[in-house]
Structure 1
Amino acid sequence: MHPIADVITSAQQQIARQAQPNRFVGLLEHGQVPRERLGRLAGELYQLVSSDRRSMALLASRFPSPPAGDLFLTMAEGEGLALGLLMDFAAALGTDEEQLRGYEPRPPAQAYPAYLAQSARYGASSDIALALLANVRESGETYTRVADALVAQYGFQESAVAHFRFFADTPRSLLDQAEATLESGVAGGDDPAAAIRCARTVHSLEGEFWNCLARDLDVP
């Protein structure tokens, strides 16, 4: 079996080949996203993060032993923290949690958390561990760009964009847990090819989340 570093590198290379420009973030950086669409961003994120929190908790219950149990519990706790921080962004938009709960999500935007829930229910511990490791750099850069644009172009205070800063900076300790989970899973018989497929799919569906937010914006 290939060393774990080779599995991670292969996933990253395959993801790099399918990468596309993020139109929504590009428009956001030029101040071309209307405020109504920012409300949609908050609503979609509320649904996404709420679902991901449950998915991580399910993974922790399926794989309770360390290192996987520690990884997924930490990720579930992180999603809970991020959900709380999202309320600060919503408040800056004049929205509260009751309104977010009543938001009607766009199905394409929720394909990512739906796939993550499927992986949490039926996948191996290695799958989400590799998806995290292979996508962390691009995902972190995306959230950094969103936070920076909201501050520079829309005048949000840093306290209002803490949700995005949270996901922009993944602790090294969490990545170490993910590497240990991947290594342990593969050693126990998990299929690296399936994990790489999961990482690619997560990347593609994360892109679809942002694409959905950019859809129908009448900007060249």
Structure 2
Amino acid sequence: MARTARQVLDEATRELAPEAGANRLVPLIAAGDAPVTAVAAFALEQHHVIASDARSFLHLAERAALLRQPAVAAFFDHLAQDESRALACLGPLAAACRLDEEAVREHEPRAGCQAYPAYAAWLALGAEPVDVVVALCANFAAWGDYCATVGRALREHYGFDDEACGFFDLFAAPDPEGAERALAAVGTGLVDGRLTERLARRYGRLLQDYELMFWATLAAC
């Protein structure tokens, strides 16, 4: 029986989900035990992550268009637009952490925090775009849960207002349009034979590992 796009995405998300307790920092933030400096470091690093990921997604969209995969290109165009909205949300978060524009501009990024966007850029250059769709969707499930937890905790334990938590709310909220575009993209990959699930899951596994490296690096700040 032919597999469906929904089956591919659901199985990848389930199999690549990080183990409980794998994230060192989010539970500390959830309990109010992490220092504000860790949240500030998050904001500083995300300025670099978001800018890099936006470029990677636009490049993937261009490559998919050249491969005549409009559904895959549409998925990455959607992600690039989300990154633009996320970048706009980082200002209030940085301000709540008492970071001014100079602090953001002068920050030197940490290697452990930038491994994820560096690998995303590597995927943008050479991976089959539809394989990257599956890998990212699996990672986004965990990322969204982390953002939901952090957004609640910052309000409850750190006194951040809704504007300051807007970055986390953006990624924690359901994205039905993105989900529909992901299904369409994966469906295209199944029909034209470009999707290689083994590689897609490899990419997803590495993205999850680099994501955990990001949080672990912040936990050591």
Scaled by the length of structure 2, the TM-score of the pair is 0.90
CA shift digits 1:146-199 (9 cap, x unpaired): 111111111000111101100112411111101111121233232121112112
Aligned letter for 1:89?
L
| 1:211 has 2:206 as partner | no
Structure 1 consecutive aligned stretches of length 4 or more whose deviation exceeds 4 Å: none
How many angstroms does 1:108 deviate by? 1.2
| 1:43 has 2:44 as partner | yes
Match of 1:126 among 121, 124, 130: 130
Once structures 1 and 2 are overlaid, which stretch shifts more, 3-12 or 125-134? 3-12
How many angstroms does 1:215 deviate by? 2.2
Q: Contact 1:24/1:211 (CA < 8 Å) preserved in 2?
A: yes
Any gaps of 5 or more consecutive residues in structure 2? none
Match of 1:199 among 197, 201, 204: 204
Structure 2 counterpart SS, 1:94: coil
Question: 2:208 and 2:30 mapped to 1: Cα distance?
Answer: 21
Question: 2:14 and 2:160 mapped to 1: Cα distance?
Answer: 35
Match of 2:115 among 111, 115, 120: 111
How many angstroms does 1:98 deviate by? 4.1
| 1:189 has 2:193 as partner | yes
The equivalent residue for 1:19 is: 19
Question: 2:61 and 2:102 mapped to 1: Cα distance?
Answer: 28
Question: 1:13 and 1:6 mapped to 2: Cα distance?
Answer: 10
Kindly tell me: are residues 193 and 97 of structure 1, through their superposed partners in 2, closer, same or farther at Cα, counting changes over 3 Å? farther
Structure 2 counterpart SS, 1:104: coil
Match of 1:151 among 139, 152, 155: 155
Structure 1 counterpart SS, 2:47: helix
Question: 2:202 and 2:34 mapped to 1: Cα distance?
Answer: 33
Aligned letter for 2:5?
I
Question: 1:195 and 1:151 mapped to 2: Cα distance?
Answer: 36
The equivalent residue for 1:8 is: 9
Identical aligned residues as a percent: 33
Any gaps of 5 or more consecutive residues in structure 1? none
How many angstroms does 1:20 deviate by? 4.1
Aligned length, in residue pairs = 215
How many angstroms does 1:29 deviate by? 1.6
The equivalent residue for 1:31 is: 32
Structure 2 counterpart SS, 1:91: helix
The equivalent residue for 1:87 is: 91
Structure 1 counterpart SS, 2:25: helix
Match of 1:69 among 73, 87, 90: 73
